[in-house]
Amino acid sequence: MSQTEAVRQLETREVQRIHKVLIANRGEIACRIARTCRKLGLAVATVHSSADRLARHVREIGESVELGAAAPSESYLNIDALVAAAKRVGADAVHPGYGFVSENAAFVRALDAAGLTFIGPTADTMERIGGKASAKIEATRLGVPVIPGGEGGMTDPAEVARLVRGMELPVLLKAVAGGGGRGMAVIETPEGLDARIESAMRESEKAFGNGELIVERYLPRVRHIEVQVAGDGRGHAIHLFERECTLQRRHQKIIEEAPSAGLKTRLREAILADAVKLAGGVNYRGLGTVEFVVAGDRHYFLEVNPRLQVEHPVTEEVTGLDLVELQLRIADTGCLPLAQTDVVCRGHAFEARLCAEDADAGFLPATGRLDVVDFSRSGVRIESGVDSGDEISPHYDSMIAKLIAHGSDRESARRALVAGLRESTVIGLVTNLRFLHELLEWPETRDASFHTRLIDERHARRGVAASATPPLEHLSAAALHWLAQRRAESPELGCWTLWDGFTGWRLPSGPAQAAPLPALVLKAGGAEWPVRFSARGVDGSIALALGEALEQATLRALAGGRHLLQCGGRALELTIIGDAHRIELSSALGSSVFTCTPYLGGASGDTAADGQLGAPMMGKVVAVKAQTGARVALGQTVIVLESMKMELHVSAPFEGTLTNLRCKVGDMVERHQVLAEVTAA
């Protein structure tokens, strides 16, 4: 049977026993599961916490039960509330997604007692392989190679400490339950050991409701390979090929691909065979993942994830199968609807996890409002649980979306994902978008010579990364957007007044030229650019002086919050969000964030023409940048005022000498008050 025929056969079989599914999860995975349920004609409902009342999965699914407070322990981990929610909406099956209760045997038993179908393995199987410690025991029993270390999980911190002190360092501590790097710690020195152990246990308890830890030898330079398996619960299992999950930061996956790149044929076959052996040996039912680490030409069992994985879309892309549908059909019939020979791997797929986090600050998560989320031009598959205007909450994962690209070979898939990231727009929070783009271009990524510590080691070596210089087009767009904002605030000050209070421009004769005085300073990272404007030309363009660069540009608003910039003979579409104080924008050239400081040397009127520097508005003198008798250049800052939480730079109107200084730091000054005088050179 061909792959296409296998997929078609799967889709033509009706789901018989299941009629309505409660999705016991949130975010992108809840939306993704609902999509397949509806494709199969199944009714669907979901759940939410008090913090998620307006979340996208609630809006999109359309029926949801509130479980409790924002903390997972009071909502998404509350077994009694979840069972009650399933009964309340009339569901006969529950899909756990990933995380939360997806690996909780007590939850499965509670559903069994309530007469509800759990879309996943049995409670007995989950207890045998859901925890890392018990799974390791099963793997050893079945002859699957394991990493040396402790035999089982431990809950006594003192016992963990004794075992670690008796092993050669480094040693890895990891949570028996859950994954994603939570509750994990690498112990490289004995200093602070007790505190590290207690911290790992607390994190594990908080994230998964289980503080038990497993201890094993730490293998620092390995690859992380996982195999997608499916079983009928009666000892028959198949694999859906492997995924490469080596590119990680802080033990959390960030780029995944299928199939794995560069594995020798014999090693790949051994890994696939061991995964199927383990799944069949524990009577695995449903869809799961068997994970391994590869060191040289040897592989070691790592853990089993008895659930759907975050990265499952790359397997879907290369096999053509809908893995959620496969889960539902196994749960409905108790049978595998496919044979091993029906599953074919074609082409290559990549997935990138786009998260609200600061890659330059050790991948520190960010929280807050997402002003703009737009993947309409990405050209790749998107799985997301947020829209423009939604919040990234501190209570849950910081992932914004997954971008998945498929190609006929690895390089074409990689290039497609790079292009998809370049055409994605997220404004409002710092994200790892730029880092993902860079990571896909690293030589180690391109030739698959990576290991699991690559990202962390590179970041440790480079320290604090220098901020990238924004492109000139972004500077031009930000300057013109700032000018439009200021004009909108005071429409009576148009560009044809004798003295434009925002640009410092006066009616000239001849072609439009940038004013002699800066109107604002754009700042990004540690750099800043004084900006001078001309009047608007007959064609609507404005001459800009951006530091030392000169540009002629126009910025026009388009539908949907986008803008079109014409600059230096180049057209560029951008999304711009901001006001007269802070501007964030995104385009095919990347993303930039600017702070805007008015630079109002000439804004007090004709006094500047005579060398008198007047206060543009009432404020406090916070800095004096030149002393009496000092030589000053055109546009040089002389005095800095603070007014209405803004800094205002008062600058020299021409080159000359500061002959009279009439203020000092700390003075409160009135609007138009003369602060200093400059005598022309």
CATH architecture of 606-680: Beta Barrel (2.40)
Both tokens assigned to 248: 């990680």
In terms of Cβ atoms closer than 10 Å to its own Cβ (0-12, 13-18, 19+), residue 460 is exposed
- pLDDT, tens only, 255-276: 999 999 989 999 999 999 999 9
**Could you give the C-alpha distances from 223 to 259, 437, 524, in angstroms and in order?**
13, 21, 38
Instruction: Measure the CA–CA gap between 79 and 92, rounded to whole angstroms.
Output: 16
pTM of the model: 0.79
Q: Which of 436, 477, 455, 440 is nearest to 583 (CA)?
A: 477
Q: Where are the domains of the chain?
A: 18-119, 148-217, 230-462, 472-598, 606-680
The answer to whether 567 and 617 are in contact (CB under 8 A) is no
Q: Which amino acid is at 34?
A: A
Rounded Cα gap, residues 126 and 313, in angstroms = 23
* Residues near 182 by beta carbon (within 8 Å), at least 6 away in sequence: 175, 203, 204, 207, 208
Of 214-223, 306-315, 459-468, which gets the smallest average pLDDT? Answer: 459-468
Class of the domain covering 18-119: alpha beta
Euclidean distance between CA atoms 429 and 435, whole angstroms: 14
* Per-residue pLDDT at 315: 98
DSSP, collapsed to helix, strand or coil, labels residue 321 as: coil
pLDDT tens-place string over residues 303-316: 999 999 999 999 99
CATH homologous superfamily for the domain 148-217: ATP-grasp fold, A domain (3.30.1490.20)
Half-sphere exposure of 367 (CA within 13 A, CB side): 5
Q: Residue 187 is encoded by which pair of tokens?
A: 């112990």
Q: How confident is the model at residue 513 (pLDDT cuts 50, 70, 90)?
A: low
Residue 609 has pLDDT above 80, yes or no: no
Residue (of 156, 154, 142) closest to 213 by Cα position: 154
Which CATH superfamily includes the segment(s) 230-462?
Answer: ATP-grasp fold, B domain (3.30.470.20)
| Cα–Cα distances in angstroms (integers) from residue 143 to residues 124, 273, 292, 301, 465, in the given order | 21, 11, 14, 10, 46
CATH classification code of 472-598: 3.30.700.30
Structure tokens at 210: 């289980």
Under the banding of pLDDT at 50, 70 and 90, the label for residue 505 is very low
Check pLDDT > 80 for residue 181.
Answer: no
- The dihedral built from the CA positions of residue 15, 21, 24 and 28, taken in this order, carries a sign that is positive
pLDDT at 500 over 50: no
Does the pLDDT value for residue 499 go beyond 50? no
